[in-house]
Amino acid sequence: MLSKSHPRYESLVLRDKIVKASKAGYLADSAMIAHGRGEAFDYLLGEKTTLPAKRAMYVTVAIMLLSKNPVISVNGNTVALAIDEIIEFAREIDAKIEINLFYRTDDRVNKIAKLFYDRDYPEILGTNNDEMMHINEIKNPRASASKNGIYSADTVLVPLEDGDRAEILSRSGKNTITIDLNPLSRTSKMSDVSIVDNLVRAIPFMTKIARDLKLQDEELLREIIEEFDNDINLKESLELFKIKEEVK
């Protein structure tokens, strides 16, 4: 049993979720490595949501509220760490959710789909029964997408994406928004909006933002979007990775 007083308690809880998901058989072998890389960046950030991340989140919610077909893409790690929060956010902003696995197997997809069905979320896309297409007709597994989901989406939010896929999405002309703790990843650099934060903090925070922004005029949402510069914001995110403690 983990003690809540342990200084690394929250981080250990997340690790435990990843280990359990791995044992449940819906994570790729490299999922733990990806999680570990995220953990290291989060450690350097002080495991706190930064101001540039918050700014990017306001812009994200504004874009998603103004979009016709916003879709949230989920992979195994995202599901393991924040499935309930993702469903809550999707319902708040009226977005769809699509399963999108880097190492896709029918078995992993079925296991993840079941987690959504068990939570009374039958509308999950990207399942093995779904009609899949290829973005921009690129015949590459990285470009596959549900016909009613990412394929026809105007905005795609991707917590944790690999750089190749992020590139395909951003070249497709869709608003591509990513959550990635690494501001130097190809994914962060290729996105229209890059949220440099842990997805476990970002998703619930955006649900709160959505409750507020939904009550505002569209004009204000457009202003929030127009005032934002992702390159500047990403640079600010990078500058916050400073090691403040000194070694004795």
Q: Residue ranges for the binding site for ATP? A: 15, 37, 180-182, 186-187, 198-199
Binder of ligand ATP out of 65, 125, 199, 213 (CB under 6 A):
199
Pick out residues in 53-92 that bind ligand ATP (CB under 6 A): 81
Question: Rounded to whole angstroms, how far apart are CA atoms 34 and 29?
Answer: 10
Is residue 31 a contact partner of residue 18, using CB atoms and an 8 Å limit? yes
Q: Which is nearer to ligand ATP, 64 or 221 (CB)?
A: 64
Binder of ligand ATP out of 13, 121, 186, 240 (CB under 6 A):
186
Binder of ligand ATP out of 85, 98, 180, 236 (CB under 6 A):
180
- Whole-number minimum distance, CB 186 to ligand ATP, in Å? 4
Question: Please, which residues have CB within 8 angstroms of residue 30's CB and are 6 or more apart in sequence?
Answer: 103
Q: Interface with ligand ATP includes 228 (CB under 6 A)?
A: no
| Residue window 132-171: x/- pattern of binding to ligand ATP, with contact defined by CB under 6 A | ----------------------------x-xx--------
- Whole-number minimum distance, CB 37 to ligand ATP, in Å? 4
Cα maximum dimension of the chain? 59
Of 33, 149, 27, whose CA–CA distance to 90 is shortest? 149
- Whole-number minimum distance, CB 13 to ligand ATP, in Å? 12
Residue nearest to ligand ATP (CB): 38
Is residue 183 a contact partner of residue 165, using CB atoms and an 8 Å limit? no
Element (H, E) at 23: helix 9-24
- Whole-number minimum distance, CB 44 to ligand ATP, in Å? 11
Query: What size, in residues, is the chain?
Result: 248
Q: Interface with ligand ATP includes 182 (CB under 6 A)?
A: yes
Of 190, 229, 177, 159, whose CA–CA distance to 65 is shortest? 177
Extract the annotated binding site. 15, 37, 180-182, 186-187, 198-199
Is residue 187 a contact partner of residue 157, using CB atoms and an 8 Å limit? no
Question: Please, which residues have CB within 8 angstroms of residue 146's CB and are 6 or more apart in sequence?
Answer: 98, 125, 126, 130, 131, 132, 133
- Whole-number minimum distance, CB 28 to ligand ATP, in Å? 10
Element (H, E) at 75: none
Q: Contact residues for ligand ATP (CB under 6 A)? A: 34-35, 37-38, 41, 81, 160, 162-163, 179-182, 185-187, 198-200
